[in-house]
Structure 1
Amino acid sequence: MTLDDILASLFPDGHDVKNSGGVLSGSGALRSGGRALVIGVADRTALGVDEAIRLSNYVLASVENGNAPILVLADSDSQRMSKRDELLGLNEFLAHLAKSLIYADMRGRPAIGLLYGHSAAGAFLATALATRVLVGLPSADPAVMDLPSMARVTKLSIEVLQEKAKSTPVFAPGLRNLAQTGAFHLTWDEAAPLAEQLDSLLANMPDARDRRDALGMERGGRPKAYDIAERVRELALQAL
């Protein structure tokens, strides 16, 4: 599906979402009433300081304007790897964007991520993974870190990582693997109206506590994360 197809299926009653240099902003009419704020990254645009601060501004400006949901659409490259962006503190801009989405969610504007194309690394973390619920379309192509980059960091060969990826989802890119780890809550059917699937999700939104570790355990993709996180939580509560 193209972005236009996705927007038309999400908002059959109309939307005013604009694409300005790969940055999406606007709103769409929900079938259940009201409007959703829509932001995101399109056209596999790299997420740099300029894009991140624009998106953060849209989110923070919406916080005092009701409790309508925020829909984050994503088809991006990784973060922009330029000298200018790094010198300006790109990591802080990406963290600010992620925290803006989490803050808005805590203030009553539930954030939903919809990955319909590619996304990787810092751009993936600061947009799609910073939402309360992350949905993928079958065309989604996520990667927290590609295998060549992982090889450089871990000092393991590509061949070793490729072998590990066959049985360990955390080593492997792709929607199926990241859904198994719990990163994605749902995969929508692009052949069915997306508006109905969005309405169903909004009517059954999970609470704001991040349960991706529990999902990863249930799906067999991250068998240890939940138990370790719960043990840390218990120790922290004992120390109070």
Structure 2
Amino acid sequence: MDWKKLADTLFPQGHAIVEQNDFLCGSAQVDGQALAVIGTTGHTPIGVEIALAQAKAILRTVREFPGMPILMLIDTQGQRLRHRDEMLGINSYMAHLGKCVDLARRKGHKIIGLVYDQALSGGFITSGLMADASYALPDATIRVMGLPAMARITKVSEERLTELAQSNPVFAPGPENYLRMGGLEAIWEGDLTAHLRTALAAVPDGDQRSALGLQRGGRRWAQPVIEAVMTDGHVRVD
């Protein structure tokens, strides 16, 4: 979905979001409540410039608008794969962005991630997966790695990976599979403003992704391992 159409749908009361070089930044209103909007568009890869721009926008929100909710609109093909970015330490820039998101949360800002088009690898990890809760539109594309690339890296045939993806969401792309694994809180269909209103009203209760993955049957061992580490260190295999 085009970000402008999305913004008009999400914010019928109006918004002041601007785009500059595939970076989105601005503010909007939901039922009279102001929120900051930060994101990307155009399937842009996250290089050092956009990572810094997002971090700067988050820190400015923390400094100038204490407690204001932050909506992260996500459309990225992931980390920019250029020699220049690697030499500059793109991993550190992305880590800095993640730390800024965490700082905002610790300062009382509710952070919501919305994948409205594409979310791949590190570009999603340091934005939507750092949020208090992440959501997606039904037609969004979410994956860590495409199956052809995964086949080349793992030396497992693409046919076998495709077969595994039928029963194991870890291997499969798409919002439904990330919903099963607990990476997404919900998939938004219908009235997007109502969904956003509900998300803003929800009270954060820590990181529930592993528990949701277990409950939904898409990630069966993460939560038992966490509980074992927190107790006696033994994982029971039934």
Answer yes or no: same fold by TM over 0.5.
yes
Provide the residue aligned with 1:185 in structure 2.
Answer: 185
Q: Report the secondary structure of 2:203's partner residue.
A: coil
Q: Under a length normalisation based on structure 1, what TM-score does the superposition of the two structures give?
A: 0.92
Q: Which amino acid aligns with 2:140?
A: A
Provide the residue aligned with 2:54 in structure 1.
Answer: 55
Provide the residue aligned with 2:43 in structure 1.
Answer: 44
Q: Report the secondary structure of 2:13's partner residue.
A: coil
Q: Report the secondary structure of 1:179's partner residue.
A: helix
**Of 198, 201, 213, which aligns to 2:199?**
201
Q: Distance in 1 between matches of 2:131 and 2:209?
A: 11
Provide the residue aligned with 2:208 in structure 1.
Answer: 211
Q: Percent identity at matched positions?
A: 39
Q: Distance in 2 between matches of 1:147 and 1:122?
A: 17
Provide the residue aligned with 2:107 in structure 1.
Answer: 107
**What is the RMSD computed on CA atoms of the aligned residues?**
1.4
Q: Under a length normalisation based on structure 2, what TM-score does the superposition of the two structures give?
A: 0.93
Q: Distance in 1 between matches of 2:232 and 2:86?
A: 37
Q: Which amino acid aligns with 2:231?
A: E
Q: Does 1:223 align with 2:220?
A: yes
Q: Distance in 1 between matches of 2:231 and 2:155?
A: 35
Q: Distance in 1 between matches of 2:182 and 2:9?
A: 26
Gaps of 5+ in 1: none
Q: Distance in 2 between matches of 1:124 and 1:150?
A: 18
Provide the residue aligned with 2:236 in structure 1.
Answer: none
Note if contact 2:61-2:68 (Cα within 8 Å) is conserved in structure 1.
no
Q: Deviations over 1:103-156 (max 9, x none)?
A: 211210011000010111111111111111001111211001221232233222
Q: Deviations over 1:170-200 (max 9, x none)?
A: 11111111111000001111x32x2222111
Q: Distance in 1 between matches of 2:222 and 2:48?
A: 32
> Following TM superposition, by how much is the alpha carbon of 1:223 offset from its aligned partner in structure 2, in angstroms?
0.8
Q: Which amino acid aligns with 1:215?
A: L
Matches within 5 A, 1:84-233: 84-189=84-189, 191-192=190-191, 194-207=192-205, 209-233=206-230
Q: Deviations over 1:4-51 (max 9, x none)?
A: 1211121111111011111000010121x3311100010111110110
> Following TM superposition, by how much is the alpha carbon of 1:70 offset from its aligned partner in structure 2, in angstroms?
0.4
Q: Distance in 2 between matches of 1:219 and 1:211?
A: 12
Matches within 5 A, 1:64-103: 64=63, 65-103=65-103
Q: Report the secondary structure of 2:42's partner residue.
A: strand
Provide the residue aligned with 2:7 in structure 1.
Answer: 7
Gaps of 5+ in 2: 234-238
Q: Distance in 2 between matches of 1:149 and 1:230?
A: 34
Q: Which amino acid aligns with 1:52?
A: A
Q: Distance in 2 between matches of 1:110 and 1:37?
A: 10
